[in-house]
Structure 1
Amino acid sequence: MSRSADQLRADAEVAAGGLPALLLAAERLSAALVSGSHGMRRAGIGEEFWQYRPAMAGDDARSIDWRRSARSDGQFIRDREAQIAQSAALWVARGQGMDFTGGPDRPTKRHRAEILALALTMALLRGGERVALLGEVPRPGRLQAERIAQSLLEPTPAAIGDDEDPPAALIRPGQQIVLISDFLGDPEPVIGFLTRAAAMGVKGALLQVLDPDEESFPFEGAVLFRSAAGGASHDTRDAKGLRAAYLDRLAERKSLLTRAATEAGWHFSSHDTLSPPSAALLWLSAVLEG
């Protein structure tokens, strides 16, 4: 069902109201990164010195630094950092399940995911990379961070239920991709995404964001479990009796995603919303740097 102009305007006002707070929180988080930790540096044809490395078969003799080589028994190449901007694509799941929080003292999974995605965006942009949400055109500059923040704050389309699958059709060569979700839905679309990415030589990271209640399953007694979209429910009088089976299935899911990511040349990690977001951000920046 289409939304009226008044509804669209109201949604836009809500998004605009949250934009400064989201940008500020992300700016503070990205500033906490150690300078240079997000650089995604690699050897190339630029002018800026990066490192010396031992010469290998196939290296052009003209690239040998004879002054450095004279100080040792071997020959050394003077690598320069590539000045071609890197491209990163970010995707944050918008499924209604991402709006879950187990208590007023913690953020929703979606809010934490948005903060991490935007903080990573700012760190990458400061390093000279081009960034975009998956499927959009990567661009450099501060204005791009504001565009991404605005997109992240757009209301979830009504057609999206509890879970949203990453769109494999939007994968493009030459990008690094970060997927942020709770990954509690059907894992097959995620595995399919990784398979397609690997076939295209695209690398990246999966970050699973969970609420502590989803990690520990602290429920006891009579509990009605119901999905955010209302499509599934389970009524039990002994929630504690379900704990072991639930934790086993969660461990299996994490193991499955870890294996699938590793086989695709990707990285997988899990983060809960009571943990410092800086830890997850440092992990993301490190795996993108390679």
Structure 2
Amino acid sequence: MARVRVLPESARSPGRQETESALSLAHRMPRLVLEARRVAANLAHGIHGRRRAGIGETFWQFRPFVAGEAAQRIDWRRSGRDDRLYVREREWETAQTVWFWIDRSASMGYASDLAQASKIERAIVLGMALASCFVEGGERVGMLGLMSPRATRRIAETMAQTLVADRASLEEDLPPQAAVAPQHEAILISDFLSPARDIATMVEGISSRGARGHLVMIVDPVEETFPFQGQAVLHDLEDGLSLRIGDATAWGKAYRLRLEQHRAELQELARRRGWTLTIHRTDRPASEAALRLMTLVATSRGIGVGGR
């Protein structure tokens, strides 16, 4: 039977004071930053899709002239090399903003021996890796309720420092209600175990001005399969409640059905608002979820994975 553990608050909290426990998130943050950079390095540059034709000064590519276009757009030097007319296209230079929110509530401290990492560690690594890729491509990255948008190459370290300094939102399992500007992107990373109606209210608030968004659900494989038998005691990590059950096998069937219904509601919510839902298990590499998210962002902007 799989063993599980729950990280203490010091392991989820980027608290200002170090504890004797080596599980302190502040203590582990340098390792998480390095892991995030490794994941980011494995992703193809430009997949986020900012490289596309538009108004700007930076040369992007030549393309064949199309009948009906203004003649002044023709690049005569390039066209003189063969018998076709070419237009010099410039790269779109309007940087977009991507907002992140990373759940650090009690349930994110859950980890089983089937997982590669705890949910909170995976969420932080995934968020910092994605942020690094966006900044590398010229985007700005902010953190909802914590950090204004910026484009520093040390965005992973900046996000880590922001989390280390923040304690106020440690027990918040949903992001703050704040409408995100049109054309901006929101990436929310959590286990999303809150009631679907509360998540819907949050999503509708963030997207009320037309922002796009992506829900990233982090799950431990034990949470998903519930492989317990016989008598068991279930603990509510958010409210501190406990429930003793006599037949874990039978209870697990009802649990898995409830989980499936919850995810179906979130999928419908995402579809209705034009968002996406990604389910990432912590026994899978972080790079899988990162690549999927980069592809979803590119698709939501109406461009291909290659950025063209």
TM > 0.5: yes
- 1:30 and 2:30 equivalent? no
| CA pair 263-61 structure 1, distance change in 2 beyond 3 A | farther
- 1:287 and 2:265 equivalent? no
| CA pair 223-54 structure 1, distance change in 2 beyond 3 A | farther
Residue in 2 that maps onto 1:259:
268
Moved more, 128-137 or 102-111: 102-111
> Given that residues 166 and 190 in structure 1 are in contact (C-alpha distance below 8 angstroms), is that contact kept between their aligned partners in structure 2?
no
Residue in 2 that maps onto 1:103:
113
- 1:227 and 2:265 equivalent? no
| CA pair 204-51 structure 1, distance change in 2 beyond 3 A | farther
Quote the Cα distance in structure 2 between the aligned partners of 1:42 and 1:113: 30
Query: How many pairs are equivalent?
Result: 277
Moved more, 185-194 or 261-270: 185-194
> Given that residues 126 and 286 in structure 2 are in contact (C-alpha distance below 8 angstroms), is that contact kept between their aligned partners in structure 1?
yes
Out of 195, 203, 217, the residue aligned to residue 204 of structure 2 is 195
| CA pair 125-159 structure 1, distance change in 2 beyond 3 A | closer
> What is the CA-CA distance between 1:149 and the residue it aligns to?
1.3
- 1:44 and 2:54 equivalent? yes
Residue in 2 that maps onto 1:81:
91
> What is the CA-CA distance between 1:29 and the residue it aligns to?
0.7
Residue in 1 that maps onto 2:150:
139
Report the TM-score when normalising by structure 2. 0.78
Quote the Cα distance in structure 1 between the aligned partners of 2:230 and 2:64: 63
Alignment gaps of 5+ in structure 2: 1-14, 300-308
Quote the Cα distance in structure 2 between the aligned partners of 1:227 and 1:266: 29
> What is the CA-CA distance between 1:86 and the residue it aligns to?
1.7
> Given that residues 217 and 279 in structure 2 are in contact (C-alpha distance below 8 angstroms), is that contact kept between their aligned partners in structure 1?
yes
Q: Which structure 2 residues correspond to residues 53-132 of structure 1 after superposition, within 5 A?
A: 79-103=89-113, 106-132=116-142
Residue in 2 that maps onto 1:275:
284
Structure 1 counterpart SS, 2:254: helix
- 1:172-199 Cα distance to aligned partner (Å, 9 max, x none): 3442110000011122232123223433
Moved more, 14-23 or 280-289: 14-23
| CA pair 215-126 structure 1, distance change in 2 beyond 3 A | same
> What is the CA-CA distance between 1:97 and the residue it aligns to?
0.4
Residue in 1 that maps onto 2:161:
150
> Given that residues 207 and 213 in structure 2 are in contact (C-alpha distance below 8 angstroms), is that contact kept between their aligned partners in structure 1?
no
Structure 1 counterpart SS, 2:149: coil
Structure 2 counterpart SS, 1:101: strand
Q: Percent identity?
A: 32
> What is the CA-CA distance between 1:226 and the residue it aligns to?
0.6
Quote the Cα distance in structure 2 between the aligned partners of 1:248 and 1:212: 16
Quote the Cα distance in structure 2 between the aligned partners of 1:155 and 1:219: 36
- 1:52-109 Cα distance to aligned partner (Å, 9 max, x none): 599699x7675578969x989xx99765321122211100112100100122753111
Residue in 2 that maps onto 1:246:
255
Residue in 2 that maps onto 1:9:
17
| CA pair 261-71 structure 1, distance change in 2 beyond 3 A | farther
Alignment gaps of 5+ in structure 1: 1-6
> What is the CA-CA distance between 1:246 and the residue it aligns to?
1.2
| CA pair 138-159 structure 1, distance change in 2 beyond 3 A | closer
Higher helix share: 1
Quote the Cα distance in structure 2 between the aligned partners of 1:18 and 1:54: 55
| CA pair 197-62 structure 1, distance change in 2 beyond 3 A | farther
